[in-house]
Amino acid sequence: MKKQIVFFTGAGMSAESGLATFRDMGGLWEQYEITDVATPEAWSRDQQLVLDFYNQRRKQLLECEPNNGHRLIASLETDYDVKIVTQNVDDLHERAGSTDVLHLHGELMKVRSSKDESLVKQLDGWELKQGDLCEKGSQLRPHIVWFGEAVPEMDNAIPIVQSADIFVVIGTSLNVYPAAGLVDLVKPGAKIFVIDPNSPTVNKSVTNISEIASKGMEELLKYL
């Protein structure tokens, strides 16, 4: 039986690929007001401002490549049952070859109906425009979980986290709930590693690897 290793990743995982994190110096939430671009109220108030924000992020994502951290995680699938629970909306884990990725906060390259959230589709290119409608005639919106919205994938994430023999947290400040609460659900006896240059506080016994994602993954391999 292959050991189950679960990676719980955040924006720091993709920093070396050129994508800004949210709360670090120069991060997205220093450049933009959350209430202008990442809430349902913002969408009702100024759709174009919200569309522009995600269109820019998509354009940037299309110019990025997975980094060695992403690739090393994918390479572990040979010897481990690897599952990824990510807060990231980018597709860099998948582009690095990872086959089991759960996105808690949505996916940047997908859009969905404003009327029926089950109507989700891949976006062709980077630009979503006003007037792009779903099959029910409603404006398409980014397939992103905005602040104040439910996180439907939590129900699928919890059993994955609870079944981990090894749990690896990479590049998240653990500021945003309910996602950050997943760390508390790791089963007793499972080994927990935290890869982050600014090790976030975790109320459990963990092995901190105070490194950037790519270097931290090289370190992690020495423990496995």
Q: Which residues bind ligand APR (CB under 6 A)?
A: 10-12, 15-16, 21-24, 27, 87, 105, 170-173, 175-176, 196-198, 200, 212-213
**Amino acid (1-letter code) at residue 26:** G
Let me know how long the chain is: 224
Residue with smaller CB distance to ligand APR, 170 or 186: 170
Residue with smaller CB distance to ligand APR, 97 or 148: 148
Residue with smaller CB distance to ligand APR, 21 or 55: 21
Strand order, beta sheet including 101-103: 101-103, 81-86, 4-9, 166-170, 191-195, 207-209
105 assigned to active site: yes
Q: How many CB atoms lie within 10 A of CB 203?
A: 7
* Contact (Cβ atoms closer than 8 angstroms) between residue 64 and residue 92: yes
The angle that helices 68-75 and 213-223 make with each other, rounded to 10 degrees, is 30
Output the smallest distance, CB 15 to ligand APR, in A: 4
Q: Where are the beta strands (DSSP E) in 41-139?
A: 81-86, 101-103, 106-113, 120-122
Question: How large is the C-alpha radius of gyration of the chain?
Answer: 18
What residues have CB less than 8 Å from 177, skipping those under 6 apart?
none
Q: Which of 70, 93, 103, 105 is catalytic?
A: 105
Output the smallest distance, CB 140 to ligand APR, in A: 20
Output the smallest distance, CB 223 to ligand APR, in A: 17
**Residue least distant from ligand APR (Cβ):** 12
Closest by Cα among 147, 143, 151 to 108: 143
Residue with smaller CB distance to ligand APR, 134 or 176: 176
Output the smallest distance, CB 115 to ligand APR, in A: 23
Query: Active-site residue numbers?
Result: 105
